[in-house]
Amino acid sequence: MTNIISSSSISPLICFFVFFFWLGHGGALGIQHSAPAINGADKIRSQFLHLLRTRRSPQVPLTVEPSKPARHPLFQQVPTPTFSEAMESCPKADIKNLKQRLREENFYLHTEAGEQGRLPVLILSLKDSKQKRRPAVVFLHSTNKNKEWVRPLLEAYASREYISIAIDSRYHGERAHNLTTYRDVWDLIKLADYLTQRKDIDPKRIGITGESLGGMHAWFAAFVDTRYAVAAPIIGVQGFRWAIDNDKWQARVDSIKAVFEEARIDLGKCAIDKEVVKKVWDRIAPGLASIFDSPYSIPAIAPRPLLLLNGADDPRCPLDGIKTPTKRARKAYAKAHSSNNVKLIVQPGIGHEMTSLMVKEASDWMDRFLKQ
């Protein structure tokens, strides 16, 4: 895979921004970037799906290709991470010899034409379960990591009679060839196609969660695909327009600075400023800072259970930037007579970090709504 960062054009950056929510190549398709007038969740979902489907590679039949466990999973960060207290903290059932009792599945799900349409999937479940159809949870990894990194979480959920699923985001893990390639995920819709066809999964009890990049993907997956019945994005929700308007975009830009430097050069600017940031969103991710931003897409998840988890001092997902989407979500849930289905948990003194508390709260949320 060729490194997409190039000084010749802004267009290669598209591959990175699809990592936010599968939008593909630029072009607004008539979307207005002023304050949108939304007439309901179905309308905004339909607009999102239209944009998504017109920006994909040619479709192929959804097929499963068996594979083997990744022997040397690629981490796109140095030094390679070796341990996460939060990952190891997820509640487990008291089962002797748990690892020996786990069934592991490794396969590729073909979601579209092209190299990146080959989606690596890892599934863990308990052998010899007495439940014919079990609830399922998808956990999505953060930037620079892979599906193998979240294995402790998969094992914990599997011990509690879930089918637990992880994937490699695009340009991560088995879909990355070096440490500088970038990211894209639209595969969660196709993953839902597959999961709802399995005989051991209850198609009405599929949850989705994830950390950081994975939390962002979980947010958009739950927004666009109602088959995800429960959502718990962890440090992944933010207000893109709010950050521009309130000059709070620096931490997000610094985390992916090469992308914005490329945009700055392309626009002939001396420094990255809010105009550069806005142009990047407008040109490469149409709708990200307007019609599909969190104040509009988060309320569209109602009435399905939604838990938002954030650090009080998170510079990439500033708390002030999610106040409006949270307020609007609460109104949408109240209107749907499901106020108990939405909750925001803010952990004091925490920045952009997934903590053991967040893992436990997300786990409890899944149990509450998927184990009924």
Query: At 14, is the secondary structure helix, strand, or coil?
Result: helix
Q: How confident is the model at residue 183 (pLDDT cuts 50, 70, 90)?
A: very low
- Average pLDDT value for the chain: 85
Q: What is the mean pLDDT of residues 84-109?
A: 96
Residue type, 58: P
Q: Tens digit of pLDDT for each residue in 65-76?
A: 999 999 889 898
Q: Tens digit of pLDDT for each residue in 110-120?
A: 988 887 788 99
Q: Tens digit of pLDDT for each residue in 16-46?
A: 344 343 333 333 333 333 344 345 899 999 9
User: What values do phi and psi take at 36, rounded to 5?
Assistant: -80, 150
Q: What is the mean pLDDT of residues 169-181?
A: 71
Contact 239, 325 (CB under 8 A): yes
**How far are the Cα atoms of 37, 116, 179, 185, 264 from residue 182, in angstroms, in the given order?**
33, 11, 9, 11, 18
Q: What is the mean pLDDT of residues 309-319?
A: 97
DSSP-derived letter for residue 57 is P
Q: Measure the CA–CA gap between 296 and 287, rounded to whole angstroms.
A: 11
Query: At 11, is the secondary structure helix, strand, or coil?
Result: helix
**What is the model's pTM?**
0.86
Q: Measure the CA–CA gap between 80 and 73, rounded to whole angstroms.
A: 10
Would you state the pLDDT for residue 59? 78
CATH architecture of 60-78+101-239+293-371: 3-Layer(aba) Sandwich (3.40)
Q: Measure the CA–CA gap between 240 and 300, rounded to whole angstroms.
A: 17
CB atoms within 10 A of CB 67: 15
Q: What is the mean pLDDT of residues 340-349?
A: 98
Would you state the pLDDT for residue 179? 63
Question: For the chain, what are the domain ranges?
Answer: 60-78+101-239+293-371
**How far are the Cα atoms of 133, 137, 156, 368 from residue 161, in angstroms, in the given order?**
10, 10, 9, 14
* pLDDT higher than threshold 60 for residue 79: yes
Q: Tens digit of pLDDT for each residue in 122-169?
A: 999 999 898 999 999 999 999 889 999 999 999 999 999 999 999 988
Q: Measure the CA–CA gap between 52 and 27, rounded to whole angstroms.
A: 11
